[in-house]
Chain A
């Protein structure tokens, strides 16, 4: 159930994000989720994509500093309190979230989580009836 996220080290220079997008487009890779964490000098672009391995290779070939990271993607109803529940379960088991990003559309919401123990995270959430999206299913979103 653990999915792969693509992480790219980017200097804060204009046009750098576009270069990544252009490469992914050429490789026909779809982006499912994306987030940029920034500091004053650099940013880290984090993406869930349709084909992480292919994207990794393409970006590496273009000399980007890039890596794959294990993440958990959950799908919850787009309604008041549903993420509150999920975070409560994790907190009860003392699983801390290192970072995350999320969005909601129509009746569903997706959240990408990186925790200090992804396997336990999956186990806890699945047991509580929260849908964890499989890597395969992610590719098709």
Chain B
């Protein structure tokens, strides 16, 4: 069963025609409605009439997360505020959050693509979906919620956390689909076992997992623990939220809803477009959005594209699982963390040197961040309680900035990497395949 056969199984050439037409409409929309894009295009000497189809996409300017921050909160919106029916925002731990806006039509589109992606994973109107992603400014909860309803399934909007209740409702409602972060799924499995509930005794059959990178090993672990099929869903609020792409039952890459989002792969250094199959940075141009259309948004996620027809019958292009980032952002328990944020926290503390190292590991299915900091010899204390006080202050400074608790380890001065040029600040011990 395929939700929208005309789109999902469209002939490649016909898809290109649809994308070309929609791209031209979007370029016109942003050129005439968004001064930010008009200026950018004029600087490049590109005008709406220069964009005749999808091949001209390379002439368009890129958009970055910083552009959204610089135009906080609504500067890049292409619709008047009275037409915006919803806003979502990132946590904004670096200062200004990234704000995204949706018109009524955008919400309808979003619901449609999430319904489609749930269907990729074999979910239907007969299912009972428990949505354990956070509800609120984060797009995860509400995005899945509207999509689940659009599909006609029964939605349980429980949001994240509250593990006791999650388990109870799964038992009482006979929940068939769970949507949450993969690490929370593993946590749930453990919590059930501790309470003497066999996860396999539940009615669960499918899991929709995203919002953080996860491995094939985790997939096997989750599938084995619950006796379900686990699928990877991808999205980012700037482009829409969850449902930009999702795995189908073939589990051979994530189908992108490319009638709404045109993907490209670029070399993050030269910014040149790379041919099919080559790995590089994923870039999206939205071609149906009204509220916040974006041209060539740099996701910073590294992956490659595969245009071959899938064994599920769909022709929608597939992206491979992301293998990393082209910037130094870390995703820790679903939260975006930049080493520079940790650095800014450390700079406020006199007793430590501005040298640090971040170690990320996954322990008991939870991401654990350790921050190694050098103690300034000038402030060295021979009293352990003083050093422990310092440790606590550093911990607090870090949690204030990134919202995540880190293990702080004090180390000797001059022991952390001071290699010539760019020093290595991050050791990610989580294995992401």
Interface residues of A (CB under 8 A from B): 5, 7, 9-11, 37, 39, 41-42, 44, 46, 60, 63-67, 69, 98-99, 114
CA distance A44 to B388 in the complex (A): 12
CB distance from A59 to the nearest CB of B (A): 10
- Residues of chain B at the chain A interface (Cβ within 8 Å): 375, 377, 380-384, 387-388, 409-415
Residue of B nearest to A10 (CB): B412
Contacting pair B383 A42 (CB below 8 A): no
CB pair B383 A65 closer than 8 Å = no
Query: Given A11-B412, A42-B411, A67–B380 Cβ distance below 8 Å?
Result: yes
Q: Which among B380, B409, B410 is the interface contact of A7 at CB below 8 angstroms? A: B380
Judging by beta carbons under 8 Å apart, are B384 and A44 in contact? yes
Known: A7-B382, A63-B414, A65-B380. 7 other contacts (CB 8 A): A37-B384, A41-B409, A42-B387, A42-B410, A60-B377, A64-B377, A64-B412
Residue of A at shortest CB range from B376?
A: A65
Chain A contacts of B414 at CB under 8 A? 63
Shortest Cβ-Cβ A-B pairs, 10 listed: A7-B382, A65-B377, A63-B414, A65-B380, A69-B382, A67-B380, A41-B409, A65-B413, A11-B412, A11-B411
Interfacial chain A residues near B380, Cβ < 8 Å = 7, 9, 65-67
Which residues on the B side are within 8 Å of A66 (C-beta)?
Answer: 377, 380
CA distance A39 to B412 in the complex (A): 14
Task: Give the shortest distance, in Å, between B427 (CB) and chain A (any CB).
Answer: 16
Q: Which residues of A contact B411 (CB under 8 A)?
A: 11, 42
Chain A contacts for B415, CB-based, 8 A: 11
Residues in B with CB closer than 8 Å to A7 are: 380, 382
Taking the closest CB of chain B, its distance from the CB of A88, in whole angstroms, is 24
Nearest Cβ in chain A — how far from B381, in angstroms? 8
Q: CB-nearest residue of chain B relative to A46?
A: B382
A54 to chain B, nearest CB (A): 17
Please state if A67 and B413 are interface contacts (CB–CB under 8 Å).
no
CA distance A7 to B380 in the complex (A): 9
Interchain residue pairs with CB less than 8 A apart (13): A5-B382, A7-B382, A9-B375, A9-B377, A11-B412, A39-B384, A39-B387, A41-B409, A42-B387, A44-B384, A65-B377, A69-B382, A98-B383
Query: Which of A9, A60, A63, A67 is packed against the most chain B CB atoms within 10 Å?
Result: A9
What are the residues of chain A within 8 A of B412 when measuring CB–CB? 9-11, 42, 63-65
Which residues of the partner chain A approach B384 to less than 8 Å between Cβ atoms?
A: 37, 39, 44
Chain B nearest CB, measured from A23 CB (Å)? 14
Closest to A69 in B: B382
Can you name the residue of chain A whose Cβ is closest to the Cβ of B377?
A: A65
> How far is it, in angstroms, between the C-alpha of A63 and the C-alpha of B64 when the chains are bound?
42
* Residues of the B chain whose Cβ atoms lie less than 8 Å from the Cβ of A39: 384, 387-388
Q: Is the CB of A44 within 8 A of B377?
A: no
Look across to chain A and name the residue whose beta carbon is closest to the beta carbon of B415: A11
What chain B residues lie within 8 Å of A9 (beta carbons)? 375, 377, 380, 387, 410, 412
> Which chain A residue shows the least CB distance to B409?
A41
CB-nearest residue of chain B to A99: B383
Q: How far, in angstroms, from A42 to B381 measured CA to CA in the complex?
A: 13
Q: With both chains docked as a complex, state the minimum distance between the C-beta of B75 and any C-beta of chain A, in angstroms.
A: 46
**Chain B residue at smallest Cβ distance from A68:** B382
User: Which interface residue of B380, B382, B383, B415 has the most chain A CB atoms within 10 A?
Assistant: B382
Closest chain A CB from B190 CB (angstroms): 25
CB distance from B56 to the nearest CB of A (A): 57
- Chain A residue numbers with a CB within 8 Å of B382 are 5, 7, 44, 46, 67, 69, 114
Quick one: given A9-B375, A66-B377, are A41 and B410 in contact (CB under 8 Å)? Answer: yes
Q: Which chain A residue shows the least CB distance to B413?
A: A65
Cα(A73)–Cα(B375), bound, Å: 29
A126–B375 CA distance with the chains assembled, in angstroms: 38
User: How far, in whole Å, are A9 and B415 apart by their CA atoms in the complex?
Assistant: 12
**In the assembly, what is the distance between CA of A67 and CA of B412, in Å?**
13
